[in-house]
Amino acid sequence: MIDNFFGFDSVDISEDGNALIIIDQTELPSKEIFLSLKNEEEVAEAITSLRVRGAPAIGIAASFGICVIVKNLRPKDYRAYLYEFDRVYDILLKTRPTAVNLRNCLESLRSTLNRSIEDGYTSTEEIQEIILDRAKQIKREDIENNIKMAELGLSLLKPGSTILTYCNAGHLAVSRFGSALSPIYLAKSRGVTIKVFACETRPLMQGARLTAYELLKAGVDTTLICDNMVSSVMSGGLIDAVITGCDRIAANGDVANKIGTSMVAILASHYKIPHYIIGPSTTIDPECKSGEDIVIEERSSDEVTHRWFKKQIAPEGVKVFNPAFDITPAKLVSAIITEKGIFRYPYNF
Ligand code: MRU
């Protein structure tokens, strides 16, 4: 049993099924604000501006999101339902390109919709119920997967070890418990000591704002470091293993994750520290043969020059390169853990 140290799920649907409920991650750690989102502008904005973020959380938010948006448009018959579903599908699919869970979840709902129509359901109420059931099942699967990954991940860690993590692949990045952080929560629930070094993860500070927030909330011994301190703590013998999440895994095991993950992987390999990637099998994209096929999202320059600082820190007009993700070559990953097992190089998922 993993304890839910948070008392809320990061992504949910309201009881009446009319709103997507998320905790606004842009307000954390200072304010815990829950948003109730009902239309396409609100849901798309919440995903693009990272109010909800993390590969599995984005997929679940899009799944509940499309259900509530189409329902609230009150389509008059199943043809109108299909039309609105496809329109909203295209809008949500474009919100974030790298995490494949978004596409997988939307495609799964689309297949469920097709099947329900082939099976002869034509009332919008019935179709709505079938689609919503599938979205709820996607969330349940996320929680079940996180529990399985927690067990598998913890089996690789010695009690008393210190883990280094990057970005946020915890409770906030999924609906409940986390992927990379789930073994830590399982350890905590069992009274096993695991300490964590969290990298702050420039430019959006998901490590400092979100990972540190949630680990402290769960009572985990947590130390925050700047990203350029990784080599120093590793060479000092402070780190036993690295665990990070993933946004998309290519068929050959190359991993797209938050920009800087490949730097951590190179350092871990140099210092002979295992680097484990934990993510659900829905993160594996067989359509991408290698990391070269993965589209990397580029984000606005103000994330580097202004955001999180009282005053702009770089001169106006400076050129900024701000890719949100990078590719860690499969060879540098010690193991990829999904709910289906522990996989090692050469990867054959
Ligand atoms: O840009 P973000 O914050 O959505 O990026 C998230 C990450 O890179 C996470 O590490 C990844 O999605 C794993 S989430 C379980």
pLDDT tens, residue by residue, 305-328: 998 888 999 999 999 999 999 999
Determine the atom of ligand 1 nearest the C-alpha atom of 279: 15
Q: How confident is the model at residue 122 (pLDDT cuts 50, 70, 90)?
A: confident
CATH superfamily of 11-146: translation initiation factor eif-2b, domain 1 (1.20.120.420)
Does the pLDDT value for residue 128 go beyond 90?
A: yes
pLDDT at 153: 98
Distance CA 301, CA 58 (A): 22
pLDDT at 308: 86
pLDDT at 46: 98
User: Could you tell me how many residues make up the chain?
Assistant: 349
Cβ(174) to ligand 1 under 6 A?
yes
Does the pLDDT value for residue 121 go beyond 90?
A: no
Fold of 149-343: Rossmann fold (3.40.50)
Cβ(283) to ligand 1 under 6 A?
no
Report the 10 Å Cβ neighbour count for 6. 18
Does the pLDDT value for residue 14 go beyond 90?
A: yes
The stretch 133-138 carries a mean pLDDT of 98
Ligand 1: residue whose CA is nearest its atom 13 = 245
Distance CA 349, CA 273 (A): 23
The stretch 256-264 carries a mean pLDDT of 98
214-236, pLDDT tens digit by residue?
A: 999 999 999 999 999 999 999 99
Q: Tell me the whole-structure pTM to 2 decimals.
A: 0.95
Both tokens of 41, joined, read 């502008």
Cβ(169) to ligand 1 under 6 A?
yes
Distance 94 CA to ligand 1 centre (A): 17
pLDDT at 299: 94
179-204, pLDDT tens digit by residue?
A: 999 999 999 999 999 999 999 999 99
| Exposed / middle / buried, residue 35 (Cβ in 10 Å: 0-12, 13-18, 19+) | middle
Q: Which residue has the higher pLDDT, 105 or 1?
A: 105
Domain boundaries of the chain, sorted by first residue: 11-146, 149-343
pLDDT at 99: 84
Percentage with pLDDT > 90 across the chain: 96
138-151, pLDDT tens digit by residue?
A: 999 999 999 999 99
